[in-house]
Amino acid sequence: MKSLLIITGIILLSFQINRIIVNNTEEVATASEAKVLGDKYITREDLPEIAPVYRSAKSTTNETSVAEHAVIKTVAAAKVEKNTATTEAKKSSLSKDYNNNFRTLHKLLKQSGNYIALSSVQFNSNEHNALDSESFQSVMAFADRLVFDETLKVSIAGFTDNRGSAEYNQQLSLSRAEDVKKYFVELGVKENQIMISANGILDPVASNSTTEGRAQNRRVEMVLIQ
């Protein structure tokens, strides 16, 4: 009986030792595998650089898109510019026609004497936006009558002396007429009662060979009509 117990103890001890050896072997194997896997990922080479390639492709796409948009905008701008130029050309043409009509009407009114009142305001050389007190009083007198009777109209014609280019004088005479018109409008006169024309150096009232004569020619004439 005693011998049986010893043998049983030895067998159990053998199983225990075997178990310990197996467990230790598995732990060593697991640790070894973990080390191998760890080394594999720790020492792995970096993946190929795809981000820069992607950014490059994206950048190229954006640049293409920007370029396409630039072309579209350029074409659109060209169309707008062309249309604007055409519109401005028509506008200039109409303005010229209207100017010629009102200039002719103003001249005929003066020649015929078929007007209610005529007055002039003078300007210094190259000026168009300054009226002295006497000139402003003349404008006010006309404006009062136009405001009181809306059936009346006024023809405002700008003139210059003969110094400067024809183009410059034409524009200057227009600026003078437009500025006098602004005075009328600010005083309450309706725009549909006002006609303006630019005459440049045409129809001088005095000789341009003298200082006094040129001063008289730098003027805006106002003709009040029914």
- Higher-confidence residue of 29 and 207: namely 207
- Higher-confidence residue of 69 and 129: namely 129
Indicate the length of the chain as a whole number: 226
The DSSP letter of residue 44 is: P
Q: Are 209 and 199 in contact (CB under 8 A)?
A: no
Backbone angles phi, psi at 201, to 5 degrees: -90, 5
User: pTM, whole model, 2 decimals?
Assistant: 0.59
The Cα 185–Cα 122 span in angstroms is 20
Residue reference for tokens 């007190």 = 133
| Domains of the chain listed by start with CATH number | 95-225 (3.30.1330.60)
Q: What number of other Cβ atoms are within 10 A of residue 134's Cβ?
A: 9
The Cα 10–Cα 124 span in angstroms is 136
Quick one: pLDDT at residue 81?
A: 43
Q: What number of other Cβ atoms are within 10 A of residue 40's Cβ?
A: 9
Q: What number of other Cβ atoms are within 10 A of residue 163's Cβ?
A: 14
Contacts for 128-137: CB closer than 8 Å, 24+ residues apart: 128/158, 128/172, 128/175, 128/176, 128/179, 129/175, 129/179, 131/180, 131/183, 136/183
CA angle 196–202–206, rounded 5-degree value: 110
Quick one: pLDDT at residue 26?
A: 46
Query: Predicted confidence band at 53 (pLDDT cuts at 50, 70, 90)?
Result: very low
User: What is the pLDDT averaged over residues 151-180?
Assistant: 95
Quick one: pLDDT at residue 14?
A: 54
The Cα 147–Cα 135 span in angstroms is 18
Quick one: pLDDT at residue 140?
A: 95
User: What is the pLDDT averaged over residues 59-83?
Assistant: 45
The DSSP letter of residue 37 is: H
pLDDT digits (tens, 9 = 90+) for 84-101: 444 344 444 458 889 999
User: What is the pLDDT averaged over residues 107-123?
Assistant: 94
